[in-house]
Amino acid sequence: MPSPVSDASSGPLQHLLEGYRRFRDTGWTPHRARWARLGEGQQPEVMIIACSDSRVDPTQIFDVDPGEMFVVRNVAALVPPFETAPGHHGVSAALEFAVQVLKVKEIVVMGHGMCGGCKAALTQELHGTEPGEGGFIADWIALLDEARQPVAEEFGTEGRSAERQMEQAAVKVSLDNLMTFPCIRRKVRDGDLRLRGAFFAISDGILHLMDEKTRVFAPVT
């Protein structure tokens, strides 16, 4: 059997190991019944699509227990449009699993303030870079190219006002792309699935929800 990890571990991992030990003491051991239930399977009713940004953890923002949300995180919380071309479609696979296997009732796309991916899309600072040196990010955030133009024309490409407009526009792009998936479109039509847009402002910690008719974001009170 492998020997236990020594307490002499150093570096960033040590900080995580200390957190793991606290979790064992306060999160795992006192709640064994809950973990036993989760060991039999998961039944989340909500899927969250959020940004990979380390400052925006959906489980912390919504203060939920394990098993309550099915979470997918990527650069700028983007959903690509439905396609059947060969390739590795990670977000699409997660959507298919959440909708067709877990049968979630809501999908929430949550953008956030100070999003580096949205800022790069707005300024186009990564265009022309090579794969492995920023090109992967540029290809990904090119999903926002069409949304960028009206934002840039009305608000410019610099400053927090323009950035926030781009961040919220990205949520709308992902919501529109969700509706290109046949299984999602069908479930929305039949009333079995609801799509929601959200935005979390890092600067003040306030969550905003998008009105489904006006597509305007308003703070949650």
Where do the domains of the chain lie?
Answer: 1-41, 43-219
Render 61-84 in DSSP notation, one character per residue.
Answer: HTT--TTSEEEEEEGGG--PPP--
Calculate the alpha carbon distances from 112 to 141, 196, 214, 216 in Å.
15, 14, 20, 15
Rounded to whole angstroms, the Cα distance separating 42 from 28 reads: 17
Rounded to whole angstroms, the Cα distance separating 30 from 27 reads: 6
Render the burial of 105-144: b for 16+ CB within 10 Å, e for the rest: eebbbbbbbbbebbbbbbbbebeeeeeeeeeebbebbebb
Amino acid at 45: E
For residue 218, the 8-state DSSP code is: E
Number of CB atoms found within 10 A of residue 81's CB: 14
Predicted pLDDT at 143: 97
Structure tokens at 110: 């949550």
Predicted pLDDT at 9: 57
Per-residue model confidence as pLDDT tens for the chain (221 residues): 555 655 545 789 999 999 999 999 999 999 999 999 999 999 999 999 999 999 999 999 999 999 999 999 999 999 999 998 888 999 999 999 999 999 999 999 999 999 999 999 999 887 766 767 778 888 999 999 999 999 999 999 999 999 999 999 999 999 999 999 999 999 999 999 999 999 999 999 999 999 999 999 999 99
CATH of domain 43-219: 3.40.1050.10
Predicted pLDDT at 81: 97
